[in-house]
Amino acid sequence: MFGRISFVVVAIIGILIALQQQFKPIPEPRDYVRGKNNTVLFLVNEHPGLSNVHAATAQSLLESHPDIQVHFGSFPKLANTMTRISSYAKRNNSQAKEIIFHPLSGLSSSDAYDNYPHLRYDEDGRLGHISPHGIEGINHISKNIQIYIDPWFQEEHLAHFKQITSLIDGVDPAVVVLDTNFAPAIEATRARKRVHAFITPNMLVDNFPGEQPWLGFLWKYPAMGSGFPFPIPLKLMAQNIYQNFRLISSVAKMPDISAKQEFLKANGVPDPIKFYGLHRDDVPWITQTTHAATVPVDFVPANVTCAGPMTLSAAPAEDQDAELMAWIKQKPTVLINLGSAFHYSRTHTRIMIEGIQKILEATDLQILWKYMLADTLDDDWRSWMVPLEETGRVTVTPWLTVDPFSLLSSGHITAFVTHGGASGFHESIAAGVPQIVLPLWTDTYNYAQLAEQIGVGIWGCRETSPDWTPECLRDDVVKVASGPDGMAFTAKAKEISAAAREQGVGRDTSAGIIAKLARGGRE
């Protein structure tokens, strides 16, 4: 199965960082090891929702800092992405080096979830992670929080720590670039006392609520998965506080994590699965926060950089698939892409097909639908799509042949139907394309609310989330993609996009910070 860690852990990390203020140790002087000059090692999860910001930074390093040798340590599914980035970088800069990819063995965080039957697909193909917003949703998260924080069995976690430690020793990088959700890599990097930095797809409000004054993370900012507006209305404040305390109490009682920590400590892993102290004042932290499209916070740590959207684009859309782009140019086109982690159940498939049929009846729009059936089902899903594709106005594909940001920034996508993940949200912001957000879990509800609040889209099928009806799919797509309302959404999306561009090119900002660290190594 594809990565599922992004739609839970990314949001939970914010709460864990929030709690660190209560337990933060007295800072100690750190004598970091200076590795080989002009060398950087990325250690990241394979899931695009987590790794895209790292891949985008690597792309900019190749093109703008060709003196830097980029190494990438991740699971095998990410190898093709690294090859494409290297190839495109050489087209833009003949001096660009190729990324050296180091495949990690064993279970990825994505695959590790298959260890837990209740989080797999049910008979209909519905994923066990799908959950509503509000109190019911936070109860779902609290029940499974130990799995979401660290999905590997203790022996698997230890094996990852050991192989990553060996990789760090072998590459000897001047800087290690980390993913906040990859605990074994963080542990190995810090055990080896390596210079490091974090890059995260999330916003400041997700990562640093605990740094805000007056315990603002409890009452001032929307709780994870609440979908509450900002500022929080008085009538919702008590529920917001309750949801935060419900999550905090579940973090305080984690017997499985405690047992795993003891095992790892006994086997030479210092500070395993450490919730508190992830953010350090002497470790650069780069976030995708876009000033014009975020929940504003009162305090930003001095070593945190708000880079704006960090988008991955291996080549112009025309170069990646000229035939597809020729079809897209025929009519205003809506892109439906609910992310790599979501595979459709039979029920979700039926409702989406009926919704698309109603959209075709009500408009002159085309639909590009990125569709994958749950991989536990062996139904002939292609036969279901025949009536749609026979219209000539629908293209259904299991995998996009063009990078999502390249599609969105082509100028030919009228609206983007997304699940509200951080990467998709920021890609749409950068491209100036309005969104219909169909949230499915945790932080996606907050992004759905944010898109609606800043005027770049709507929370689709709000009344039935995380489920849909054909009628709400039609109504919401028609509202955002056509008529006077559609024009207003598009105008606002372009306005926010222009403001984001004034902030700079996110991947270049990120790459500049990493390059400076890489040049501080040992000659």
Q: Is residue 444 part of a domain?
A: yes
Q: What is the pLDDT of residue 209?
A: 87
Instruction: Check if the beta carbon of residue 37 is closer than 8 Å to that of residue 65.
Output: no
Q: Report the distance separating Cα 400 and Cα 150, nearest Å.
A: 30
DSSP reduced 3-state for 207: helix
What are the Cα distances from residue 462, in Å, to 48, 63, 317? 26, 42, 32
Question: Which of residues 308, 333, 360 is at a domain's end?
Answer: 308
| Same domain, residue pair 292 and 345 | no
Tell me how far CA of residue 86 lies from CA of 40, 82, 208, 472, 519, in angstroms: 15, 6, 34, 42, 21
Q: Do 171 and 223 belong to one domain?
A: yes
Is residue 303 located within the same domain as residue 342? no
- Establish if 507 belongs to a structural domain: no
Report how far residue 335's alpha carbon sits from residue 208's, in angstroms, rounded to the nearest whole number: 32
Structure tokens at 314: 């291996």
Rounded-to-integer distance, Cα 139 and Cα 133, Å: 10
304 and 321: one domain? no
| Residue after which a domain boundary falls, among 308, 333, 350 | 308
Is residue 379 located within the same domain as residue 277?
Answer: no
Residue 522 lies in a domain: no
Compute the radius of gyration of the chain from its Cα atoms. Answer: 22
In a domain, 510, yes or no: no
Residue-level length of the chain = 523
Q: Backbone phi, then psi, for 181, in 5-degree steps? A: -100, 10
3-class DSSP assignment, residue 173? strand
Is 285 in the same domain as 355?
no
Residues 6 or more apart in contact with residue 469 via CB below 8 angstroms: 351, 355, 461
What does the block give as tokens for 140? 């779902």
* Helix (H) / strand (E) containing 285: strand 285-287
CATH number of residue 267's parent domain: 3.40.50
The answer to the question of residue 512 being in a domain is no
Residue 360 belongs to a domain with what CATH number?
A: 3.40.50.2000
49 token code pair:
């929702």
In a domain, 520, yes or no: no
* Statement to judge: residues 9 and 80 lie in one domain: yes
Domain count, the chain: 2
Residue-wise DSSP of 322-336: HHHHHHHTTS-EEEE
In a domain, 333, yes or no: yes
C-alpha distances in Å from residue 116, one per residue of 148, 157, 490 = 11, 16, 42
Compute the distance between CA of residue 441 and CA of residue 464 in angstroms, rounded to an integer.
13
CA angle 428, 7, 245 (to 5 degrees): 120
Give the pLDDT of residue 314: 76
- DSSP run (H or E) holding 416: strand 413-418
- Residue 421 pLDDT: 94
211 and 100 co-located in one domain: yes
Structure tokens at 110: 């994505």
Whether the Cβ atoms of residue 197 and residue 417 lie closer than 8 Å to each other: no
Dihedral, CA of residue 206, residue 208, residue 213 and residue 219, to nearest 10: 20
**146 and 253 belong to one structural domain:** yes
Residues 278 and 370 in one domain: no
The H or E element that residue 177 is part of is strand 173-178
Let me know if residue 130 belongs to a domain. yes
Query: Which 8-state DSSP code applies to residue 65?
Result: -
Contact 300, 306 (CB under 8 A): yes
Residue 7: per-residue pLDDT: 38
- pLDDT at position 251: 86
At residue 332, φ and ψ (nearest 5 deg) are -55, 130
Give the residue numbers spanning the domain of 29: 5-308
- Around Cβ 286, how many Cβ atoms within 10 Å? 25
Q: Tell me: do 126 and 226 sit in the same domain.
A: yes
Nearest 5°: the CA angle 130, 366, 351 is 35
**Same structural domain for residues 102 and 162?**
yes
Q: In the listed set 308, 326, 345, which residue is the last one of a domain according to the structure? A: 308
Mean pLDDT by 10 residues, the chain (523 residues): 40 49 49 95 93 97 97 96 94 94 94 91 95 93 92 97 98 97 96 97 91 90 94 94 91 91 97 85 96 96 97 89 97 96 96 98 98 96 97 97 95 97 96 98 94 98 97 98 95 98 96 97 88
CB 415 within 8 A of CB 436: yes
In the chain the first and final C-alpha atoms are separated, in Å, by 43
The answer to whether 252 and 149 have CB atoms below 8 angstroms apart is: no
* Predicted TM-score of the model (pTM): 0.93
